[in-house]
Structure 1
Amino acid sequence: MTSIRHHPSDELLLAHAGGWLPAGPALVTTVHVEQCTRCAARLALLQETAGQWLEDTPASALHPHALERVLAALDVCDEPEPPASLQGPPPLPAGMAWPRALAGLQITPWRWIGPGMRYSRVRLAGDDAFVFLLRLVAGKYLPRHVHTDREFTQVLCGSFHDGRAQFGAGDFDVADSTVHHLPVVQSGGECVCLTAVQGSLAFDGLYGRLLGRLAGLS
């Protein structure tokens, strides 16, 4: 893998270490940590620190009916759907494989949203983020858009430039409501990203709005 230039902030890694991130952003962060030795070391240190903090925190008594409530909640949970594997993924760079964090998840087949553009939905139970894989060939772009909340992206292969910076394989990005960007896939092959969107995207122009509705992003 090429050198990783963009990483989660320490604040985000701390939230991940403490289990405070929602499922979608946590999955994207986990995939990055799996591919980045620097962030894996940072996360391990933060987890150790958080664990020590918990050990030093005085114990609090649970509600007397806490166990009953947990068991009751488990009883009403729907039976999970059988996991599905990735369908028709593009080849990744030599020596790379799909992230281990995606193993066993329910992932839909690739769906066409335009020439040279595909996406696949990653379904996570109990998460309000829209999590998906986006696959674009060189020269294609996601129309210019802004975010109502945060968008977490991990580049699995290829690269794109969104007007702020270039993001290559292994890079991580968080875009919020202050970011108005147009990600364009760079030359050298397909770009595949794992993305979790909290809230929705607001696309510029008719084409962008139609594409967003087709993919369920707006």
Structure 2
Amino acid sequence: MTHYHPSIETLTDYAAGSLPLAHSLCISTHLELCSECQQQVRKLEMLGSEFFEDTKSEDRQLNSLKDSFFAHLETESHSATLAEQAKEEKRQMLDQTNESKALDWDAYKVPKSLRQFIPKGYDDLKWSRISPSFKMATLCNEEGGAQIALTRIKAGSHMPTHTHTGDELTLVLEGAFSDESGVYRQGDFISRDSSHKHQPIVTKDAECICLTVLDAPVEFTGWFTRLLNPILRRHHPHSGL
């Protein structure tokens, strides 16, 4: 079950079409993996439709409608979560049965929203090896802006400790990892900014593939891994290199 989601403010901006394209792609991919946020966005879109149908409504009426809507979301979220938990438990039982038979890591299912960048599968991408256990594949660079990339880390390994020089969105596509704040599994959405410093560690049962959107390059902080920072900057459009 997905435990980490975009904020309601981010989903509202997505439904309104006001997010940057790179961020919208990350949200779209999360929605494919999270039925709870799908429901939230549908309700937000309905709210937007009601607003545009009544162009003469006052700002105070809109604020009242939003307050009422968000209060309604909170009352529904518990029952929706329970239903989703039941579905997820059943799916996990099936997954565990399949995994006990065989693990075919070449058969990952690429989300529909990413297939324009990954038409054949993850293995056919051009991966750059950053360290013995950590690879990265750039999907798209916005000129002077955000980078959309995949990271791929071996089972039981970790990404070097790093900070963020800008905002970072991470979506777990396959596998799982943990850091000082929690454990993140398929579908989980994590937002980081320059105040965060962490060291993601992949679980031992499988490699981890994540979609990342970086407004600026990360900075490794270790004595040795700092030598890799120029490589990361070279891959990022924000650096201008």
- What is the TM-score with the length of structure 1 in the denominator? 0.76
Amino acid at match of 1:28: C
- Choose from 173, 178, 183 the match for 2:200: 183
Uncovered stretches (5+) of structure 1, i.e. residues with no partner: 59-89
Matched, 1:140 2:157: yes
- Choose from 20, 45, 67 the match for 2:43: 45
Uncovered stretches (5+) of structure 2, i.e. residues with no partner: 57-103, 120-124
- Choose from 106, 113, 127 the match for 1:101: 113
SS at match of 2:156: coil
Amino acid at match of 1:91: W
Amino acid at match of 1:183: P
Q: 1:53 to 1:202 in 2, by over 3 A?
A: same
SS at match of 2:172: strand
- The answer on whether the counterparts of 2:134 and 2:152 sit within 8 Å (CA) in structure 1 is yes
Question: C-alpha displacement at 1:158, in angstroms?
Answer: 0.7
Corresponding residue number in structure 1 for 2:68: none
Corresponding residue number in structure 2 for 1:212: 229
- Aligned-residue identity in percent: 32
Q: Which whole-Å CA distance do the structure 1 matches of 2:22 and 2:229 have between them?
A: 19
Amino acid at match of 1:104: Q
- The answer on whether the counterparts of 1:185 and 1:191 sit within 8 Å (CA) in structure 2 is yes
Q: Which whole-Å CA distance do the structure 2 matches of 1:103 and 1:115 have between them?
A: 27
Aligned length: 183
- The answer on whether the counterparts of 1:147 and 1:201 sit within 8 Å (CA) in structure 2 is yes
1:57-109 CA-to-partner distances (Å, cap 9, x unmatched) read 36xxxxxxxxxxxxxxxxxxxxxxxxxxxxxxx827x8x61000011237851
Question: C-alpha displacement at 1:30, in angstroms?
Answer: 0.7
SS at match of 2:224: helix
Question: C-alpha displacement at 1:11, in angstroms?
Answer: 0.8
Q: Which whole-Å CA distance do the structure 2 matches of 1:143 and 1:13 have between them?
A: 31
1:165-188 CA-to-partner distances (Å, cap 9, x unmatched) read 110111110011221111111111
The structure with the greater share of residues assigned to helix is 2
Q: Which whole-Å CA distance do the structure 1 matches of 2:23 and 2:32 have between them?
A: 14
Matched, 1:30 2:42: no
Matched, 1:167 2:184: yes
